[in-house]
A and B are shown apart, each in its own frame.
Chain A
Amino acid sequence: GENVEQHPSTLSVQEGDSAVIKCTYSDSASNYFPWYKQELGKRPQLIIDIRSNVGEKKDQRIAVTLNKTAKHFSLHITETQPEDSAVYFCAASIPGTASKLTFGTGTRLQVTL
């Protein structure tokens, strides 16, 4: 089955700096890669996703890049703000089951003032 690895497990940045979280996956058939943000005590919320026919996608301060050959994808957050502090999870799924997700281990992002 699919295996998703995520690094780093914790990340501390100063407000205004950029943050990058990286994930690798094992199943070359995977074609959908969402990123979820989970604040303490809350449900995971989708912040951005990318499909395998696209190499990069941006939404304001958030961007995701995908390298299918290397089987890795990354989340980039620019101009970080304290409200970006949360746990971020990457995930992957195979064709036909976009919501049947294999999650990475999570990255705890702390944005300091």
Chain B
Amino acid sequence: SAVISQKPSRDICQRGTSLTIQCQVDSQVTMMFWYRQQPGQSLTLIATANQGSEATYESGFVIDKFPISRPNLTFSTLTVSNMSPEDSSIYLCSVEAHEGTEAFFGQGTRLTVV
């Protein structure tokens, strides 16, 4: 299994500001993903973080709002830009340690926008 450290674990932010969430893995992984879990809801995939190239976004998510970096095989960041109360959610990173294997999740970042 992979050990995933996600920071911060929670934050309260003012609307209009941005927050960057970090995801660090204890080993090199093939795939990294970012999910959003709105209050009381299921998980929705935001994007695939590609190492060395631009992230691949799912329908309904755009780079200007959720810029993602992945400078190496163990680290990724997700920024939530120009936040509004509707962005209040839990954001989770997920990794696939080896191709075709199960997904592991970070502990999540609980974001509240006021």
Contact = CB atoms under 8 A, between A and B. Distances in A.
Interface of A: 1, 34, 42-46, 49, 89, 96-106
Contacts of A34: 102-103
A42 B45 contact: no
A64 to B, nearest CB: 13
Nearest to A93: B103
B27 interface: no
A98 B103 contact: yes
Contacts of B99: 96, 98
Given A42-B107, A97-B31, A101-B94, 20 more contacts: A1-B59, A34-B102, A43-B106, A44-B92, A44-B105, A46-B104, A89-B43, A98-B100, A98-B101, A98-B102, A99-B94, A99-B96, A99-B101, A99-B102, A100-B31, A100-B48, A101-B43, A101-B45, A102-B45, A104-B42
B42 A89 contact: yes
Contact of A99 (B31, B42, B107): B31
Contacts of B44: 103
Nearest to A51: B100
B95 interface: yes
Interface residues of B, number: 23
Contacts of B105: 43-45
B33 interface: yes
Interface string B34-52: 0000000111110010000
Contact of A105 (B42, B92, B95, B108): B42
Residue among B41, B100, B107, B108 facing the most chain A CB atoms (10 A cut-off): B100
Contacts of B103: 34, 46, 98-99, 101
Given A34-B102, A103-B43, A98 B59 contact: no
Contact of A98 (B41, B96, B107, B108): B96
A100 B33 contact: yes
A43 B108 contact: yes
Contacts of B42: 89, 103-106
